[in-house]
Amino acid sequence: MLLVTKAWHDIHGRKYIELDGRQVKVPFRYNRVTGVDVQGHVPIQDMPAGVQVKAEVRTVKWDGLEYYVLKSICPAGPKDLLSPPYGLS
């Protein structure tokens, strides 16, 4: 589980969301999120700070530097928040 610490924002035309204090790039072209599996009824653009989410983030290298890029995201439901972490029972 990750916490949205900063909601959807724009830096020099690129879109980001901050998860647990890490700035994660959201692939965005033609006025829509592309290449991200978004589950649930809430678009990434409307997820406020403070929301628990399940997300998959990949690391990509550009110009010798590593960046975090969002691959999938799903708002955590009540069942997810009550279950033990890491699939332990």
Return the closest-CA partner of residue 55 out of 42, 30, 41, 36: 36
Measured distance CA(46)–CA(76) in Å, rounded: 15
**Structural domain for 10, as ranges:** 2-87
What's the structural domain count of the chain?
A: 1
What pLDDT, in 10s, does the model give residues 29-88? 999 999 999 998 889 999 999 999 999 999 999 899 999 999 999 998 766 554 555 444
What pLDDT, in 10s, does the model give residues 6-22? 999 999 999 999 999 99
Q: Which residue has the tokens 């403070």?
A: 50
Contacts of 80 (CB under 8 A, 6+ apart): 1, 52, 54
C-alpha R_g of the chain: 14
Looking at residue 88, what is its pLDDT? 40
Strand 52-62, strand 28-29: pairing = unpaired
